[in-house]
Structure 1
Amino acid sequence: MKPVIGCLGAGRMGRGIAVVFAFAGHQVVVVDFKEREAATFEALATEARAEIRSTLETLSRIDLLPAELVPTIADRITVVSRQEAAAALPRCDVIFEGMPEILGLKQAALAEASRLAGEGPIIASTTSTILVDDLAGSIEHPGRFLNAHWLNPAYLVPLIELSPGRLTAPEVTVRMKTLLEGIGKVPVVCAARPGFIVPRIQSLAMNEAARMVEEGVASAEDIDKAVIYGFGFRFAVLGLLEFIDWGGGDILHHASRYLVEALGDSRYAAPDIIATNMREGRIGMKTGQGFMNYEGVDLAVYRERRLAAFASALRAMGLAREPVA
């Protein structure tokens, strides 16, 4: 029997998560956790069901789902009102909270939901901004609570950032990872720090792109072309730290020093770990150690596999060309 999934909140995130789990064969209950008149709730539920159905139809049109399965998957999702939460939540094995990003509102909703659900279900907040330990105090039996940050659109982006707190039981993190891997997602675990992993990286990149427009470095269109066909193309295959190892941490060290001096801004400075790695000989693939360990790795085979992945990406973008004979 597949775990029953609860989505606390009937907004975009709750609906997206519902689609993901229903697609994978789970029964899902979406709980509209706001107090509403019956007629207002019915209007919202109708709209939520229509959006869920529309999302599934879109997945069908882009060849991720056979059209004949749309009704079956949609029927796995039930939308209920707050008045029905007391009956719905205890039936759930895992509950994802997706209320608006307001600390007090989330705390109140999690406190009430954890009381109604009983001590059995794992509860995860999908917050993108609030730390797990700022919410855990609201939960009855907080050992079953952690953050699970989904990236929009939840039904397409594979990554989910898991952030356990001081009180999170280790087995809860393991169970959540196993559940998410079982539906085809890629969970990563990070410490409870502001911004998780992806938001911290992308906020720097997005601000730098905007700053280059401001400085007249290039047009918005050309900056985005550079990101799609250069930055994004490479980092869809190589991770950022793997890329440092690929070229060598010494290259980043010297390039960073040049940018600091040329642009007169310390924001381009490399962190201390780059200089430390250089001193200790962990420069990357050429020394067998970097951020990753390459000891015993056949580097020629490794590089060729990465190049093959680049070639596949090039073909997917329609940019691979036949040679001229």
Structure 2
Amino acid sequence: MKRRSLLIGGAAAMAAAWFGPAPALAQAWPTQPITMIIPFAPGPIDGVARVIAEAMGRDLGQPLVIENIPGAGGTVGVARAAQARPDGYRLLMHNIGMSTAPTLYRRLAYDPVKDFEPIGLMNRNPMVWIGRPNFPGSTLAEMVDYLRRQGAQANLAHAGLGSSSQLCAMLMQAALRMQATTVPYRSSGEVFPELSAGRIDLYCDQTTSALGQVHGRSVRAFALAAPQRLPALPEVPTTAEAGMPDFQLSIWQALFAPAGTPQPVIQRLNRALRVALADARVTARLTELGTAPEPEATGTPEALRELLAREVARWRPILQAAGEFAD
């Protein structure tokens, strides 16, 4: 019994030396800036990340510094985050691509479920269908009619393997039981000049990316793939209003930490995230960007863990049926 007590005491002392006393951990951490990895090139997603990161930093007492690590559909940055020390100082902000990568990439360097600790959902971006400014039609019904008549002669752009725009294009073709010509690009930034110049027919993108293009009238908006209209795009009807109630797609964005990160740190980060998303200034800015904060009820680490598992299972058969994979 004496030896057992010594072992337990020694383990507790080691844990305290590494993590600090359990009750004081939330107060002792963090003591240095935190890095938030975004696995994409700088773009509209950074606007969402920065406003949330700044608010989280105020609550944590340490700044959150954004680091863009693009490459291979986001998998380069995610792999880097998975290899980080699990101390809470290196986080990952990712989206639905976290759930599609296991199917799309045959040799993935990480397991999105096993190699990460969920922190919480941040926001959801509805997808919006847009087209070239001289598109022969202005409603979703006219867009659908065009796709059915043109078939493979119609072209749909997407921003690369596993991108939200590719997923949206796949779902639309499956819903209409037709096959258009898909044109891949490396990013949404490459698509918009082609679209506004009339060289691409249609594109489906997140509202945070498409908002400025729609407001600038360089593209034509047909419908929002969401149950309700968006305050930032009040003139754009929903797919439900436009006759396709079952066609809905919103892209979630969330925070993760490397597997093994202490749970008190995860809970502290989640608390800071909830505080940030409840901030009126953050909410107002997210509304301007065309998105909305995740409600507190579904913003827990447990809810994100369950969502990720469901999304991996949901997209696997859809992607396998499409037959598009990376080596």
Query: Is TM-score (shorter-chain normalized) higher than 0.5?
Result: no
- Give the TM-score category using the shorter length: under 0.3
Question: Could you say which structure has the higher helix fraction?
Answer: 1
Instruction: Name the structure where strand makes up a greater proportion of residues.
Output: 2
Higher RCO (C-alpha under 8 Å, 6+ residues apart): 2
TM-score using structure 1 length = 0.28
